[in-house]
Amino acid sequence: MKAQIIVSERVDFDKEIKKHVIRNVVNDVSVPALPYAVSFHIYVKLYEVPVSEPFEVHLEVAIEEETIGVSNVSVLRNYRKEDQISGVDTSIGMGVVLIAAGNYSFKLLCFDTGEVLAEYPVTVRLDESRLPAEAL
């Protein structure tokens, strides 16, 4: 099984055209204070997956190898046609409490084996100039 993930501000599924729409890919985030809660949406693309049996994945978010967030387990299944490479496209919304400035890692893992299938870095910066004037 192979995978790719993209962290973004929003992922929507357009039912008419049957495609995902990824809005504002996130490579870095500036926050006015720490800790600070941020909502992320992670687009997940899996391919060369088991053809006839469901499988489970989940996301973990870590800073310096300390896991600070875990998503619910997603049970997925291939519904692609026989002439297509087996796979699944989905998205997972996840609220994360950012605890420090630095480099965070979003990891997609196989639930059964713990294998990391894909990883995506996001840099978090503290920008106190974004605080409302009354908070200073």
pLDDT of residue 52: 84
Which amino acid, one-letter code, is at 55?
Answer: F
Report the alpha-carbon distance of residue 87 to residue 41 in Å, rounded. Answer: 20
pLDDT of residue 42: 98
pLDDT of residue 129: 82
Q: Token pair of 120, please?
A: 């995506």
SS3 136: coil
Q: Is the pLDDT of residue 11 over 90?
A: yes
Q: Is the pLDDT of residue 130 over 80?
A: no
Q: Is the pLDDT of residue 135 over 60?
A: no
Q: Is the pLDDT of residue 39 over 80?
A: yes
Q: Token pair of 25, please?
A: 């890919």
Domain 2-135 sits in CATH at 2.60.40.2550
Q: Token pair of 129, please?
A: 């100039």
pLDDT of residue 128: 83
Domain map (residue ranges) of the chain: 2-135
Residues 6+ apart with CB under 8 A from 37: 95, 96, 97, 98
For residue range 94-105, what is the model confidence (pLDDT) as tens digits? 999 999 999 999
Banded model confidence at residue 133, pLDDT cuts 50, 70, 90: low
| Lookup result for tokens 């908070």 | 135
Q: Are 120 and 5 in contact (CB under 8 A)?
A: yes
Whole-structure pTM over 0.85, yes or no?
yes
